[in-house]
A and B are shown apart, each in its own frame.
Chain A
Amino acid sequence: QSVLTQPASVSGSPGQSITISCTGTSSDVGSYNLVSWYQQHPGKAPKLMIYEVSKRPSGVSHRFSGSKSGNTASLTISGLQAEDEADYYCCSYARTSTVFGGGTKLTVL
């Protein structure tokens, strides 16, 4: 059982926006602005998409954005494209530990 809770799946049509939630506790997401999000295509290594809740690494599309409220972080993808279909994982600093969410499969209809 993963420490951070994500929906198992979300879907959207091309051009639409979707949001993936990531719920933790006051010991991780709620206490630190050190939440990151990763995109993973089948058979590939994860790729960093968002760090420190809402910052985008160089080269990541502006269509990806992150936010946090209380113990829940969120990843929003706007203007969905076929290439966005992948698994997405959230991750949080938790003092002496690091915790991942169970992952969300995004399907672009």
Chain B
Amino acid sequence: QLQLQESGPGLLKPSETLSLTCIVSGGSISNSSYYWGWIRQPPGKGLEWIGTTYYSGGTYYNPSLKSRVTISVDTSKNQFSLKLSSVTAADTAVYYCARQTGIDYYDSSGYDYTRDAFDIWGQGTMVTVSS
């Protein structure tokens, strides 16, 4: 079955750029039925959505992080990545990658193929920002 595995440095200094990769195994990242997302969780706190990408390159970002975040897809390596620039202690968290299902959605605005639930999660990786 499909599995996700986060990888990247666990310790950063303030002002550095956080770079994480999520390796997708047991399935193709190019499957048009799915999106791919990043979520984080500071110690003892709740979940925060960072952003989501589609295999063809479309991206959606949390407005509060948008100026510092880049999410990209590498279909040749079956992986997607997160970059968060100018980190501070507030960025210390467990970072999860997750698969997000897609859905045909109809509303007053018409038709859209859009993002549904996060159905498969990686185990998470702790990133600490400290001088």
Q: Which residues in A have some Cβ–Cβ distance to B below 8 Å?
A: 2, 31-32, 34, 36, 38, 45-48, 51-52, 57, 89, 91, 93, 96-103
Interface size counted on chain B using CB atoms at 8 A: 25
Given contacts A51-B101, A99-B49, A102-B46, contact A93 B114 (CB under 8 A): yes
B101 touches A98 (CB 8 A): no
User: Among the listed B37, B119, B123, which residue makes an inter-chain contact with A48, where contact means beta carbons less than 8 Å apart?
Assistant: B119
Closest A residue to B4 using CB positions: A45
A46 touches B60 (CB 8 A): no
A48 touches B46 (CB 8 A): no
What are 11 A-B residue pairs whose CB atoms fall within 8 Å in the complex?
A34-B117, A38-B47, A46-B121, A91-B117, A96-B60, A97-B63, A98-B62, A98-B115, A99-B49, A100-B46, A102-B46
Closest A residue to B112 using CB positions: A95
Q: Among the interface residues B48, B60, B118, B122, which one has the most CB atoms of the partner chain A within 10 A?
A: B118
Given contacts A32-B107, A45-B121, contact A103 B47 (CB under 8 A): yes
Q: Which residues in B have some Cβ–Cβ distance to A below 8 Å?
A: 37, 39, 46-49, 52, 60, 62-63, 96, 101, 103, 105, 107, 114-119, 121-124
User: Among the listed A57, A89, A96, A98, which residue makes an inter-chain contact with B46, where contact means beta carbons less than 8 Å apart?
Assistant: A89
- Chain B residues with CB under 8 Å of A52's CB are 103, 116-117
- Chain B residues with CB under 8 Å of A89's CB are 46-47
| Alpha-carbon gap, A73 to B69, bound state (A) | 30
B49 touches A97 (CB 8 A): yes
| Alpha-carbon gap, A101 to B47, bound state (A) | 8
- Chain A residues with CB under 8 Å of B121's CB are 45-47
| Alpha-carbon gap, A67 to B81, bound state (A) | 34
| Alpha-carbon gap, A98 to B101, bound state (A) | 13
Given contacts A32-B107, A45-B121, A48-B119, contact A2 B60 (CB under 8 A): no
Closest B residue to A48 using CB positions: B119
Q: State how many angstroms separate the Cβ of A54 from the closest Cβ of chain B.
A: 12
B119 touches A46 (CB 8 A): no
